[in-house]
Structure 1
């Protein structure tokens, strides 16, 4: 493969093979900051506001909040996207969250003087609502203003994976990209991932950040659940209630050795982080504060610190009665006898959703470097149950590290520890121990039992039929799941939506397949890495916002529309309380969860981790695809096959897949069966035009080459290629590999049997293939319509399996499993 100049330059900065860096040299140094917030659009403006004790909360001007109990909103003011984006970019990217993200990202890079290029750099993004303003356009058009534009570009901007694609294009970055969506803890978890990537030694620079823009349907949802305040927020004090905000912030993070070598200014270092699950409730925190406590404790332990060594806690401090009370219990338990100062910068900026974590950490970092702790504004008397050391007045203090934590819907918790440049601590080196697959499971239109699905595949079954459940004649691979309790009475499915039910079944069956029991003794050490393309349908909530004069919202629907709700339901159903994240990097992102889970295990953040993906097809989605001309209108399921020279169309399916990953040492210690070792995992992005379907294969080739290089293999070593065709021109990318470098390898897919399950198809097919290989039974006959693929001999004992995928959303992934 030809390496670009940018890649060559980045690689030339890598340490020589003989130079083994120490853990201290691989610390994650923060060398650049870009911020767009209610306090200002530069670090200098934000610091001045903090020192003056001025907030950015006022009566809303962008959104009509007259129907809600509060008209307050912490809006970004004075932001000029034209100062940071070209005219053609402004025409393409109309959603305010994308505009803020791109401008903040560029500011962070400019501030650091670093370049984001090549495979030794990565992009880590976060959001809660993503392009919700663009998504609202469809409902505005339907209910309020038929002239509102809603086309392919606006639809694409409404997707969670819009930001990775937009950022890759605007930043001209074709390397690994991760999109984390754990709702309001997302950007804190993203910073943690940046630390992991840097400390692995595989990356020299990571651009990490988050963005969210105020949207009326989001405000309506919080108004519906009655947690907003008509007055300015007073965390841990009175009155109770939150204000909503918006903004974006990005950090350039580099390994310390590289930053020092190039003379970069260093704001501080990320020295510890943690994520954990409450396993309690879709929206309410565990009232004991147990999940928050475990998250703070693990982050401090990761940094090698005790509570007495932490100079300040930047609390989540959302202002709501339940959240503040639970968090205060957690802080008191964490601090013990030590009175660690606590502040909440939400009193300045409101709750900025998925961007809130990095915005608050930026405020605290700037304050630490200036020698003060910003007070919690409007704190008077402690609210009952909130007896902690809240800083209520400006406090000059020299401190060298702080902990910043955030807690979200679905019980997704995250915390980071940030220290000054010269702070000394001791952490173990990153251990690249072997990680293996010990359990597999899939749920699809073919059924809920993995072995039965494989038998159906071997009989060339097609579980594709008219979508009558959705009142549509369009063909789709839908799951008939009338009563999930009959499948497993040990799982509480109460309140679960379809996508979460599919995921819970797949997760439980992967654990059972591995003979891995989760209980009180190990629940905190089992993790979940979930991928979704989109959350469950928000139609009921949106119709209650745009179809009613009082914009009342729908409480039941609102609590399930966050992307991380599925991981939350799974953790609650199976009582899994360990590391927990949700990736929304794009179609086929299920494969990226394998990469993420392996990193967790290598850093000893979990003893086992479920790498998962889940998808649900719902009526509104089907109608939207139909309006955009993105669905095949076939009369027979057999018409669904490879059409690599065709338009951008597919035939949708739904389901879930799960692989249980463990370290090889752990699996062998309990005599578990081993499906194979994760020899390599890699990602890359394409940088084609935003609204184009990304037909080029550069990103895919980059990911595959990186995986082969890590596994120390060549193409001829691969016995089997697992892929996830869509049935359109996107498939040309993989076909070029199958007809070229991997022409001697067999290929298997299940899409034409189940429908294209957007996030899960690749992981699902990999589960089927691993199960066949473990049982040493022949793979299923292919029905792609390509004679060479369909007639090729299929191995029953492949030793090297490459799973490779690429999509119109620009993301490409490759995983190699060795047996």
Structure 2
């Protein structure tokens, strides 16, 4: 059945930058041609001639308790400020409407601020409360959704310099596919020392304010935040909202070329613009203005100019400018701030200029609107952004309601045709599944401190923290306490580590100089999924997309990079900087295999790969991408994080795998894991035509979140989030509760996770909860944070093929008698399965799988 795509309009905006602290003043500053790039207040004592576009104004947060402000970092505080401004401008004050809204946030350096005092050895500045509240990458999304009352599900996008543009695109797709009537999109990026030092070490910085496409090359780094309320057109009209513009299309692509440098042929940049135009059903000649990425670096400006020449035959008559000459390069917040600048100037029939413009550089010979506004009535404009790793984003929009008919599409059926994994149970999925069927346990007991030197350094670190904060000496939760620090070499925990892996035994293309453990695991699982799907890339990499979900990312590389900053930040290791970014894993995989289609990285914490699966499903279902690989990967935590987990009463980290009893009456322990899991999604009919065996059809999914980040004791509200996700999934799949033949939960074994899953099943399935088999296999491979939900799904897919249901391992006495826990192998066919899961931030996911017929 043909469907009309929903129109998406902009009904609210919020802004914070070096130029202004609100939308009104930002518009004034733009028209006044003010440049916010100045000698850095915070970094010039570290770096000679350091310039930056810094937010120096005192920011007020009306209605926010001072104690809470002290707990939050700038990433969250700035996101809260601009998000509140956008919702106020959109007049979205009704709690019922907010509960239906989703949230996407783009950021590059989340979870950084709380931990920097430790690396800077300024222990008095360290706050355990801040570290617990916002010391994880995902935390900003949970914080903002809770404070603003948004329950429509959230995602955090971590693609460096395209993060907020990517977040806008995902929000746009969420509205188009009918998941949410409105979305709040935020880009937030305070400037921290690791980011500044990284770009400085790469010699990308200019000694004076940047002048894109002209004069001396070099970028000026910036900070700030921006937000948009995107809303379905009819929904906005019905409530009488003011409309500030319309978003018409979005696309991403990957260069698959280099970790930092753009493809000199600009193929990925060309592809993303061509795809966005096709999605908008617009011819190139309809574009009247391009807001360029325009960093000011020689390579970016040259390649971007080349790409525009290849796409637009009339390029010399199109006005092009870079807003970065006003506010610098705002990294994760760049795209959304630049988009807002367009929405504030183009309706006035004025095209914003490229400030500081000097003599054009060689090969930069277009109309870059030098230094002054030009008058023009722009009907359609394009916003482009590019990032490290060759991630490219393009948005097409109109500064008013667009006078074009809504596009139509034929929804595609989405098949799962390939899968791959690596875990403590094996380096190949076939081995992992074989070991699970045999009831084997992976992992091993690992000392918390593997040698005296590490133990001594760690002991000194923790003692320094306690000396600065004596109150922390009273911590005695978990199996270990601070009193145990002196003998940490005698302590151990059970970790599901990947052991004895030689990547060259499995990978035909592998560059160990650029590989981290986490990227190696991801590539290994990805190549398995491609092989089982019968897919080889032969100059057609643009047909295959990739969406990865990450939790803690390349943490070993991050630790090495941060350690290289001190005591002299000017000597930061340039080789580690790009590899420390969250999207470094996606970059490594796309370069290795030549994947050039839709490309994004979500960093929503535990079960982030479920978010990747939902988005990959939409790309295929809406015919935006014929094939997509989705999944996630993790490497084991560094020793400091392992120790902090070991001391956490909630997690109850164990040194005995027999204690990991999911859904147990008592004695449940928590096991950490590492590895990767990937799924290959494809249009159902195309896969059939290729003759590829179908593992399952993804019939539908649901996503919702609670607003309980600051009070996790509200189990009833948290349960309702999972209930909402399950009901969405069943409705989208057109499946009744009577048709579900298996439920797979992904509780990690902690009490809250277990209670929420079981109570949600009772609420949705009522009396049938006694009859539907419930399974969970997390105990086999541990909590591989980003993707243990997908690892469970792989087991379910295998069981659907085999016509059997495997038992829950290790649990001896279950916590409920009204649930059908599977305790022994059942020879039972499964045609419809439901897989459910949650993130630690309060996001809930549900997926309905159908056996192909």
Shared topology, TM-score over 0.5? yes
CA contact (8 A) 1:436 1:674 kept: yes
* Structure 1 range deviating more: 782-791 or 100-109: 782-791
SS of 1:147's equivalent in the other structure is helix
Q: Which residue does the alignment assign to 1:501?
A: 520
Uncovered stretches (5+) of structure 1, i.e. residues with no partner: 1-17
Q: Which residue does the alignment assign to 1:527?
A: 545
Q: 1:448 to 1:747 in 2, by over 3 A?
A: farther
Report Cα offsets for 1:613-645 as digits up to 9, x if no partner.
111113243244346566645343222223778
CA contact (8 A) 1:176 1:682 kept: no
Q: Which residue does the alignment assign to 2:412?
A: 433
CA distance in structure 1 between the aligned counterparts of 2:619 and 2:124, rounded to whole angstroms: 48
1:783, distance to aligned residue in structure 2 (A): 2.4
Equivalent in 76, 79, 88 of residue 101 of structure 1: 79
Q: Which residue does the alignment assign to 2:567?
A: 548
CA distance in structure 2 between the aligned counterparts of 1:630 and 1:283, rounded to whole angstroms: 40
1:804, distance to aligned residue in structure 2 (A): 0.5
Equivalent in 779, 782, 805 of residue 755 of structure 1: 782
Report Cα offsets for 1:230-270 as digits up to 9, x if no partner.
21111111221111111111111111122223332111100
1:138, distance to aligned residue in structure 2 (A): 3.3
CA distance in structure 2 between the aligned counterparts of 1:138 and 1:458, rounded to whole angstroms: 45
Q: 1:797 to 1:511 in 2, by over 3 A?
A: farther
CA distance in structure 2 between the aligned counterparts of 1:300 and 1:649, rounded to whole angstroms: 52
CA contact (8 A) 2:412 2:623 kept: no
Q: Which residue does the alignment assign to 1:579?
A: 598
Report Cα offsets for 1:63-103 as digits up to 9, x if no partner.
233222442121123352323634454244x2011111011
Q: Which residue does the alignment assign to 2:295?
A: 318
Q: 1:81 to 1:745 in 2, by over 3 A?
A: farther
1:306, distance to aligned residue in structure 2 (A): 2.6
Q: Which residue does the alignment assign to 1:656?
A: 676
Q: Which residue does the alignment assign to 1:735?
A: 758
Q: Which residue does the alignment assign to 1:368?
A: 346
CA distance in structure 1 between the aligned counterparts of 2:34 and 2:381, rounded to whole angstroms: 22
SS of 1:34's equivalent in the other structure is strand
Equivalent in 588, 603, 613 of residue 594 of structure 1: 613
1:642 aligns with 2:662: yes
CA contact (8 A) 1:138 1:150 kept: no
Equivalent in 801, 814, 818 of residue 846 of structure 2: 814
CA distance in structure 1 between the aligned counterparts of 2:669 and 2:91, rounded to whole angstroms: 42
1:722 aligns with 2:752: no
CA distance in structure 2 between the aligned counterparts of 1:64 and 1:651, rounded to whole angstroms: 41
CA contact (8 A) 2:40 2:50 kept: yes
SS of 2:188's equivalent in the other structure is strand
Q: Which residue does the alignment assign to 2:403?
A: 424
Q: Which residue does the alignment assign to 2:461?
A: none
CA distance in structure 2 between the aligned counterparts of 1:548 and 1:102, rounded to whole angstroms: 33
CA contact (8 A) 2:255 2:268 kept: yes
* Structure 1 range deviating more: 463-472 or 434-443: 463-472
Q: 1:229 to 1:786 in 2, by over 3 A?
A: farther
CA contact (8 A) 1:439 1:511 kept: yes
CA contact (8 A) 1:773 1:796 kept: no
Q: Which residue does the alignment assign to 2:15?
A: 35
1:120, distance to aligned residue in structure 2 (A): 4.6
CA contact (8 A) 1:371 1:397 kept: yes
1:365, distance to aligned residue in structure 2 (A): 1.6
Q: 1:693 to 1:664 in 2, by over 3 A?
A: farther
Report Cα offsets for 1:649-668 as digits up to 9, x if no partner.
73210111111111211111
Matches within 5 A, 1:395-794: 395-467=374-446, 471=450, 473-480=492-499, 482-520=501-539, 522-537=540-555, 538-545=558-565, 547-620=566-639, 621-626=641-646, 632-642=652-662, 650-690=670-710, 692=712, 695=715, 696-729=718-751, 730-737=753-760, 741=765, 742-779=769-806, 782-787=809-814, 789=821, 791=823, 794=826
CA distance in structure 2 between the aligned counterparts of 1:427 and 1:415, rounded to whole angstroms: 19
After superposition, the CA RMSD in angstroms is: 2.4
1:388, distance to aligned residue in structure 2 (A): 2.7
1:481, distance to aligned residue in structure 2 (A): 5.0
CA contact (8 A) 1:72 1:243 kept: yes
CA contact (8 A) 1:139 1:543 kept: yes
CA distance in structure 2 between the aligned counterparts of 1:136 and 1:645, rounded to whole angstroms: 40
CA contact (8 A) 1:502 1:656 kept: yes
SS of 1:701's equivalent in the other structure is helix
CA contact (8 A) 1:541 1:553 kept: yes
CA contact (8 A) 1:411 1:568 kept: yes
CA contact (8 A) 1:69 1:229 kept: no
CA distance in structure 1 between the aligned counterparts of 2:714 and 2:581, rounded to whole angstroms: 27
CA contact (8 A) 1:282 1:559 kept: yes
CA contact (8 A) 2:315 2:366 kept: no
CA contact (8 A) 2:152 2:180 kept: no
Q: Which residue does the alignment assign to 1:291?
A: 268
* Structure 1 range deviating more: 731-740 or 199-208: 731-740
SS of 1:555's equivalent in the other structure is coil
Q: 1:68 to 1:736 in 2, by over 3 A?
A: same
CA distance in structure 2 between the aligned counterparts of 1:447 and 1:718, rounded to whole angstroms: 31
1:55 aligns with 2:82: no
Q: Which residue does the alignment assign to 1:12?
A: none
1:222, distance to aligned residue in structure 2 (A): 1.1
1:420, distance to aligned residue in structure 2 (A): 2.7
1:693, distance to aligned residue in structure 2 (A): 7.3
CA contact (8 A) 1:165 1:690 kept: no
CA distance in structure 2 between the aligned counterparts of 1:693 and 1:357, rounded to whole angstroms: 37
CA distance in structure 1 between the aligned counterparts of 2:168 and 2:233, rounded to whole angstroms: 16
Q: Which residue does the alignment assign to 1:68?
A: 47
Q: Which residue does the alignment assign to 2:457?
A: none
Q: Which residue does the alignment assign to 2:360?
A: 382
Equivalent in 113, 119, 127 of residue 107 of structure 2: 127
CA distance in structure 2 between the aligned counterparts of 1:793 and 1:705, rounded to whole angstroms: 29
1:384, distance to aligned residue in structure 2 (A): 2.5
CA distance in structure 1 between the aligned counterparts of 2:665 and 2:190, rounded to whole angstroms: 38
Q: 1:467 to 1:691 in 2, by over 3 A?
A: farther
Report Cα offsets for 1:727-764 as digits up to 9, x if no partner.
22222212334677433222333321211111110101
Q: 1:633 to 1:295 in 2, by over 3 A?
A: closer
CA distance in structure 2 between the aligned counterparts of 1:808 and 1:438, rounded to whole angstroms: 29
Q: 1:47 to 1:268 in 2, by over 3 A?
A: same
1:271 aligns with 2:259: no
SS of 2:381's equivalent in the other structure is strand
CA distance in structure 1 between the aligned counterparts of 2:79 and 2:311, rounded to whole angstroms: 34
1:407, distance to aligned residue in structure 2 (A): 0.7
Q: Which residue does the alignment assign to 2:484?
A: none
SS of 2:187's equivalent in the other structure is strand
CA distance in structure 1 between the aligned counterparts of 2:499 and 2:830, rounded to whole angstroms: 33
SS of 2:24's equivalent in the other structure is helix
* Structure 1 range deviating more: 391-400 or 497-506: 391-400
SS of 2:687's equivalent in the other structure is helix
SS of 1:557's equivalent in the other structure is coil
CA contact (8 A) 1:304 1:425 kept: no
Q: Which residue does the alignment assign to 1:801?
A: 833
Q: 1:606 to 1:453 in 2, by over 3 A?
A: same
Q: 1:329 to 1:135 in 2, by over 3 A?
A: farther
CA distance in structure 2 between the aligned counterparts of 1:569 and 1:135, rounded to whole angstroms: 26
Uncovered stretches (5+) of structure 2, i.e. residues with no partner: 451-488, 815-819
TM-score of the aligned structures, taking structure 1 as reference length: 0.92
Equivalent in 184, 191, 194 of residue 214 of structure 1: 191
1:318, distance to aligned residue in structure 2 (A): 1.2
CA contact (8 A) 2:247 2:397 kept: yes
CA contact (8 A) 2:160 2:581 kept: yes
Q: Which residue does the alignment assign to 2:337?
A: 359
Q: 1:686 to 1:572 in 2, by over 3 A?
A: same
